[in-house]
Amino acid sequence: MAQLDENDTTPPSRRMLLSAGRVIGAGLLLAGVLIGGLTVRSVLDKGNYQHDNGVLTVDECRTSLERSRSRHQQHVVRHVSCTGTFRFDASSKPPLADITVETGREVEPGTELDVVKSSHSFELAEDQNKSTVFMAAFGSLLAVAAGAFCLLTGFGGRRGPRFRPAWAALPAGRVTRPLLAVVGGIGIAGTAVSLIVYKFVS
């Protein structure tokens, strides 16, 4: 059984609040590490896939509606897929007929779409958006920095320490403060830039 520190004058309720902040920090830290690991694995897996670039000449597009019901309302999801002939950029490979790709929008017959053929499926080249990968990677850095800060200081619990006192009380502050500031700053800046690219450029 753990023994209480006789010199600890912190009220029991205060200690519980600090512990709550550390639990939040542990959760954020774990989430950041997990998301970062999954992102790296996804990038490595995609790098190992064999893929071919080509163009899909659309013959027709079809729209379907998928209905799903939650407790309070019904949701309708619109799916659009287009079928046509896929021609490889590499002229040595013969074209493939009756290839269907999820497009999310209807296009006129004869429209040419840039498509990537992987070992598993066909998809629009624009759907392989790298900005979402960067967003996840930088977001994981931000979660790791925030989680480490909360875990070390108890910040984040209800009525827990405020940011400035917690920041000043960081253990080994000369090392941890610059480190957390750099990692968190990179996470914030990278996530913001990735979000802007995703929304307005992609």
pLDDT in tens, 123-145: 887 655 566 778 889 999 999 99
Does residue 45 register a pLDDT over 90?
no
**What's this model's pTM, rounded to 2 decimal places?**
0.57
Distance CA 168, CA 18 (A): 16
Q: Which of 101, 93, 22, 17 is nearest to 57 (CA)?
A: 101
pLDDT in tens, 166-201: 999 999 999 999 999 999 999 999 999 888 877 765
pLDDT recorded at residue 39: 82
Does residue 3 register a pLDDT over 60?
no
Strands (E), 12-166: 52-69, 74-88, 96-102, 112-117, 122-124
pLDDT recorded at residue 72: 65
The Cα angle at residue 171 between residues 177 and 136, in degrees rounded to 5: 50
Q: Which of 63, 62, 106, 113 is nearest to 86 (CA)?
A: 113
Q: 35-39, 54-58, 71-75: which range is least confident on average?
A: 71-75
Distance CA 186, CA 168 (A): 21
Q: Which of 161, 170, 71, 54 is nearest to 114 (CA)?
A: 54
